Copies of this chain bind each other. A is one copy, B any other.
Amino acid sequence: MSVKGCTIFGGTQGEWQVLSQKIIAGEGLPLVSHLHVGALEDSAWDHSAWKLRGVISNVRYVEKSERVALVAKQEGLGRPTANYGALLPIKKTQAWWDLTQDERRDIFEDQSKHIEANMKYLPNIARQLYHSRDLGEEFDFLTWFEYRAEDSDMFDEMIQAFRETVEWKYVQREIDFRLLKK
């Protein structure tokens, strides 16, 4: 059956050059010089040092009025001028996953303003979320971003703000990859 998603391969080859790879929380991954973003069942790159898989699933927290606003403002991946990228694989604590839907939504938006805060960086920062947890992967999410060189400071600001939220207190593992498309 077909499911949309990706496998991100870390190694010595790939269309994205790794400019930096930094541990934010928890355990790291072996340092690599390049990433390749392939299809979910891509095995041609299995010689890579490591791979991370994720699927594009249904939205988990966004409400209707928010989605209308997001769709109106956001732009897709692959914009020719947006040759800077970032990959932030994230694993949240068991305490997060043990929360009920209303408790997670409360932390996600009411306390952390996840959607509202990120709205102001659209359309400059394009994003895609891949879900990994239910695949048995070592991270829960792969968050992928693309932006222009001149928006690098804006991206830093956005990520810094996220790391100061209540939601981020539930992050137990995060690695920060900054990327340049060749």
Q: Which residue numbers of A lie inside 8 Å of B, CB to CB? A: 1-3, 40, 55, 57-64, 66-67, 97-103, 105, 131, 133-138
Extra 10 A-B pairs, beta carbons < 8 Å, given A3-B134, A58-B99, A63-B102: A1-B136, A1-B137, A40-B136, A59-B100, A59-B101, A61-B101, A63-B103, A64-B103, A67-B100, A131-B134
Whether the Cβ atoms of B55 and A134 lie closer than 8 Å is yes
Give the oligomeric copy count. 2
Whether the Cβ atoms of B134 and A100 lie closer than 8 Å is no
Known: A131-B134, A134-B55, A135-B134. A101 touches B2 (CB 8 A): no
- Which residues of B are found within 8 Å of A59, using beta-carbon distances? 100-101
Known: A67-B100, A103-B64, A105-B101. A1 touches B58 (CB 8 A): no
Minimal Cβ-Cβ distance residue in B for A97: B58
- Which residues of B are found within 8 Å of A63, using beta-carbon distances? 100-103
Whether the Cβ atoms of A136 and B103 lie closer than 8 Å is no
